[in-house]
Protein backbone atom coordinates (compact mmCIF):
# COMPACT_ATOMS: atom_id res chain seq x y z
CA UNK A 1 0.00 0.00 0.00
CA UNK A 2 2.92 2.29 0.82
CA UNK A 3 4.33 1.68 -2.62
CA UNK A 4 1.00 2.50 -4.17
CA UNK A 5 0.73 5.81 -2.31
CA UNK A 6 4.34 6.59 -3.17
CA UNK A 7 3.65 5.86 -6.87
CA UNK A 8 0.54 8.04 -6.81
CA UNK A 9 2.51 10.90 -5.22
CA UNK A 10 5.28 10.48 -7.79
CA UNK A 11 2.75 10.40 -10.63
CA UNK A 12 1.10 13.52 -9.25
CA UNK A 13 4.47 15.24 -8.96
CA UNK A 14 5.34 14.22 -12.50
CA UNK A 15 1.94 15.42 -13.75
CA UNK A 16 2.47 18.81 -12.07
CA UNK A 17 5.92 19.06 -13.62
CA UNK A 18 4.44 18.29 -17.03
CA UNK A 19 1.69 20.85 -16.45
CA UNK A 20 4.22 23.49 -15.40
CA UNK A 21 6.36 22.74 -18.45
CA UNK A 22 3.30 22.99 -20.70
CA UNK A 23 2.44 26.37 -19.16
CA UNK A 24 6.01 27.61 -19.73
CA UNK A 25 5.88 26.40 -23.33
CA UNK A 26 2.52 28.08 -23.80
CA UNK A 27 3.83 31.41 -22.49
CA UNK A 28 6.94 31.08 -24.65
CA UNK A 29 4.80 30.31 -27.69
CA UNK A 30 2.56 33.28 -27.02
CA UNK A 31 5.62 35.54 -26.73
CA UNK A 32 7.06 34.20 -29.99
CA UNK A 33 3.70 34.65 -31.71
CA UNK A 34 3.43 38.24 -30.50
CA UNK A 35 7.00 38.96 -31.62
CA UNK A 36 6.33 37.44 -35.05
CA UNK A 37 3.09 39.37 -35.33
CA UNK A 38 4.91 42.63 -34.57
CA UNK A 39 7.67 41.77 -37.03
CA UNK A 40 5.10 41.05 -39.76
CA UNK A 41 3.27 44.27 -38.99
CA UNK A 42 6.48 46.30 -39.22
CA UNK A 43 7.51 44.58 -42.45
CA UNK A 44 4.09 45.17 -43.99
CA UNK A 45 4.08 48.79 -42.83
CA UNK A 46 7.53 49.35 -44.36
CA UNK A 47 6.37 47.86 -47.66
CA UNK A 48 3.23 49.99 -47.63
CA UNK A 49 5.22 53.14 -46.87
CA UNK A 50 7.70 52.37 -49.65
CA UNK A 51 4.84 51.77 -52.09
CA UNK A 52 3.11 54.98 -51.01
CA UNK A 53 6.33 56.92 -51.57
CA UNK A 54 6.63 55.50 -55.08
CA UNK A 55 3.03 56.45 -55.80
CA UNK A 56 3.57 59.93 -54.35
CA UNK A 57 6.65 60.45 -56.49
CA UNK A 58 4.78 59.27 -59.60
CA UNK A 59 1.86 61.59 -58.83
CA UNK A 60 4.18 64.56 -58.27
CA UNK A 61 5.92 63.85 -61.58
CA UNK A 62 2.57 63.57 -63.38
CA UNK A 63 1.37 66.83 -61.82
CA UNK A 64 4.60 68.59 -62.77
CA UNK A 65 4.32 67.31 -66.36
CA UNK A 66 0.70 68.44 -66.58
CA UNK A 67 1.59 71.85 -65.15
CA UNK A 68 4.39 72.20 -67.70
CA UNK A 69 1.95 71.43 -70.54
CA UNK A 70 -0.61 73.89 -69.19
CA UNK A 71 2.01 76.62 -68.85
CA UNK A 72 3.22 75.98 -72.42
CA UNK A 73 -0.36 76.23 -73.72
CA UNK A 74 -0.95 79.37 -71.68
CA UNK A 75 2.22 80.90 -73.11
CA UNK A 76 1.07 80.09 -76.68
CA UNK A 77 -2.36 81.61 -76.04
CA UNK A 78 -0.75 84.69 -74.52
CA UNK A 79 1.54 85.03 -77.53
CA UNK A 80 -1.42 84.63 -79.92
CA UNK A 81 -3.33 87.33 -78.03
CA UNK A 82 -0.32 89.63 -78.11
CA UNK A 83 0.09 89.04 -81.87
CA UNK A 84 -3.61 89.66 -82.44
CA UNK A 85 -3.42 92.84 -80.39
CA UNK A 86 -0.36 94.04 -82.30
CA UNK A 87 -2.12 93.42 -85.62
CA UNK A 88 -5.44 94.99 -84.70
CA UNK A 89 -4.64 97.56 -82.02
CA UNK A 90 -5.08 100.62 -84.21
CA UNK A 91 -8.26 99.32 -85.80
CA UNK A 92 -9.77 98.48 -82.41
CA UNK A 93 -8.87 101.86 -80.96
CA UNK A 94 -10.39 103.60 -83.99
CA UNK A 95 -13.55 101.47 -83.71
CA UNK A 96 -13.92 102.18 -79.98
CA UNK A 97 -13.36 105.90 -80.42
CA UNK A 98 -15.85 106.01 -83.30
CA UNK A 99 -18.52 104.24 -81.23
CA UNK A 100 -17.93 106.48 -78.23
CA UNK A 101 -18.20 109.72 -80.19
CA UNK A 102 -20.99 108.37 -82.35
CA UNK A 103 -19.25 108.25 -85.77
CA UNK A 104 -20.59 104.92 -86.90
Contact 90, 96 (CB under 8 A): no
What integer pLDDT is reported at residue 31 of this predicted model? 87
Predicted local confidence at residue 3, as pLDDT: 81
Percentages of the chain per state (helix, strand, coil), in multiples of 5:
95, 0, 5
pLDDT tens digits for range 2-54 = 788 788 888 888 888 888 888 888 888 888 999 999 999 999 999 999 999 99
Dihedrals φ, ψ of 52, to 5°? -60, -40
In angstroms, rounded to a whole number, what is the distance separating the alpha carbons of residues 40 and 50?
15
Amino acid sequence: MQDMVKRIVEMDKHARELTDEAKRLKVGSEDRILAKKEELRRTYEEKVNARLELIRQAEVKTAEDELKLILEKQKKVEQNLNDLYAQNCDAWVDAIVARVIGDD
